[in-house]
């Protein structure tokens, strides 16, 4: 008898490893100035189910649509600060020699 065991946690972690830098790019882009929804959709919407940057940022509450504009939420700014500080910490820990 065979038992199938799924590994959703590992798969989710890999997807987030791929998505996190892209989500940060989106948040940085939006943090410079609010953008129109049409502009955001033109640049960030994807039909690829493996890279749902806009969808993931929206679902997690990192961005919000206010009328025609899309803005970074306080939660999105916190996420961006946290991720960028992790990047700096990891870079300092790397020994180039």
Cut 0.85: pTM above it: no
Answer yes or no: is pLDDT of 97 > 50: no
pLDDT in tens, 45-85: 766 666 688 889 999 999 999 999 999 999 999 999 999 88
46 contacts: CB under 8 Å, gap ≥ 6? 52, 53, 54
For position 35, what pLDDT does the model report?
94
Q: Report the DSSP pairing between strands 35-36 and 63-66.
A: unpaired
DSSP string, 9-77: HHHHHHHHHHHHHHHHHHHHHHHHS-EEHHHHHHHH--S-TT--HHHHHHHTTSEEEETTEEEE-HHHH
For position 90, what pLDDT does the model report?
60
pLDDT in tens, 2-53: 544 554 544 444 545 778 999 999 999 999 998 999 999 888 876 666 668 8
Residue 53 burial class via C-beta count within 10 angstroms: exposed 0-12, middle 13-18, buried 19 and up: buried
For position 12, what pLDDT does the model report?
47
Q: How far is CA 79 from CA 2, 4, 8, 40, in A?
A: 42, 35, 23, 19
For position 37, what pLDDT does the model report?
92
């Amino acid at each position: 008898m065979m038992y199938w065991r799924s590994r959703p946690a590992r798969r989710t972690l890999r997807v987030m490893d791929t998505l996190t830098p892209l989500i940060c790019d989106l948040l940085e882009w939006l943090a410079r100035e609010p953008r129109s929804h049409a502009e955001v959709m033109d640049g960030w919407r994807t039909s690829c189910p493996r890279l749902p940057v806009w969808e993931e940022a929206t679902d997690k509450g990192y961005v919000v649509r206010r009328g025609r504009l899309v803005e970074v939420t306080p939660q999105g700014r916190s996420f961006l600060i946290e991720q960028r500080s992790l990047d700096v910490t990891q870079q300092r820990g790397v020994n180039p020699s």
